[in-house]
Amino acid sequence: MLNPRISLTAPILGMALLVSACGNNASAPANQTTDAPATATAGQQAEQPQAANTTDSEQFQDAVKAYHQFVIAQTDQFVKDTQAFVDAIKANDMEKAKALYAPSRMYFERIEPIAESLGDFDPWIDAREGDVPANEWKGFHRLEKALWQDKSLDGMAPVADQLLQDVKMLRVKVEGVEIDAPMLVTGAVELLNEVSSSKVTGEEERYSHTDLYDFAANVEGAYEIFKVLQPTVEAKNKELAAEIDKRFKELDATLQPYRKDSGYVLYTDLKEDEVKKLSQAIDALAEPLSQIGTVVEG
């Protein structure tokens, strides 16, 4: 059983272990709807033909399988933690809901590119105020505002119910998601771009300031992709694989001082030069990581 607390404190290098420990736990929730298997669209962004001998290789197919298992396991846990968060909201237990908010979101942040490829899950689950028309705004950040800004959960029960429903729907969809090579190799960098654009700037969690949870989860998600591709990258370019691995470790070390109890310090506790260091560590990693697409070449 995946323990969410462990994933918050364990360095990212522990993620692979966590994943393999819960890989067989991918059962669908009981109230599963009967949609046809979803097809990812992210793969369309790269139109050039893929050289067959790399992406059709057993090694690469194993990577895709392993990553799919990871996505399913994360989404399983996402449903469970969201359930607990939603229960706290509906019980009007503000303190409990606040405590559960950031950790439960991390499962989504780890697999965000997959969720985004499956339709409107990102705006439903993760839209920030202003991302969507005000009357359509729902999901985690709507509840974040209620908890930290409005300090009232009045009228939030339907939002909570809808969130849980959307998360369960996501769980159903990831079961059949088709993960292809472009999706994997661009997904890793997309996760780090998420960090650069909104997490390291403190824009993602404007009320709760729990941005570092998302930061860490995005990095963990990117690391998982690298992990499954690592043998393929190594076979192709040993130096690149070693550099990426090293930069992941350096980023992990950069993040280490901000781990606190079972989570992370608030974004507002960071000093300016600390934010800069974190941002530069992301850039240092994302640049070589953006080269893993070379594994798709012939």
Partner 1 sequence: MKQEANDRADKSAISRRELLKMGAVGGLGLFLGAGVMKGFDIVDNNKPAASMLTNANGIIPFYGRHQAGIVTPMQDFVCMGAFDLTVTDIAEVRKLFQDWTAASARLAKGEGVGEESNNALVPPVDTGETIGLQPMSTTITFGVGPSFFDDRFGLASKRPSKLVDIPAFKRDELVEEWSHGDIIVQVCANDQQVAFHALRNLARIARGKAVLRWLQQGFQRAGAADPKGATPRNLLGFKDGTNNPNVADEETAKQIVWAQAEDGAPWMDQGSYMVVRRIRMRIEVWDRTALGEQEATFGRYRDSGAPLGATGEFDPADYTKLDKNGKPVIPADSHMAIASMGGKVKIHRRGYSYSNGIDLKTGQLDAGLLFICFNRDPLQQFIPMQTKLAELDRLNEYIEHVGSGIYACLPGVKEGGYIGDTLL
Please report, as ranges, the residues that interact with partner 1 according to CB under 8 A. 46-48, 181-182, 185-186, 243, 247, 280, 283-285, 287-288, 290-294, 296-297
**At closest approach, how far in Å is the CB of 296 from partner 1?**
5
**At closest approach, how far in Å is the CB of 295 from partner 1?**
9
Pairwise CA distance, residues 255 & 199, whole Å:
13
**At closest approach, how far in Å is the CB of 48 from partner 1?**
4
E strand intervals along 165-271: 259-260, 263-264
How far apart, in Å, do the first and last CA atoms of the chain sit? Answer: 39
166: left (phi over 0), alpha (psi -120 to 50) or beta: alpha
Quick check: helix, strand or coil at residue 93? coil
Bridge partners, 129 (sequence order): 132
**At closest approach, how far in Å is the CB of 293 from partner 1?**
3
Cβ proximity to partner 1: between 159 and 189 the closer is: 189
Cβ proximity to partner 1: between 83 and 294 the closer is: 294
Cβ proximity to partner 1: between 203 and 297 the closer is: 297
Inter-axis angle of helices 94-110 and 211-236, nearest 10:
20
Cβ proximity to partner 1: between 162 and 294 the closer is: 294
**At closest approach, how far in Å is the CB of 297 from partner 1?**
5
Instruction: Tell how far CA 132 is from the center of its chain.
Output: 21
Cβ proximity to partner 1: between 5 and 238 the closer is: 238
Helices (H), 148-210: 157-175, 181-194
The DSSP letter of residue 132 is: B
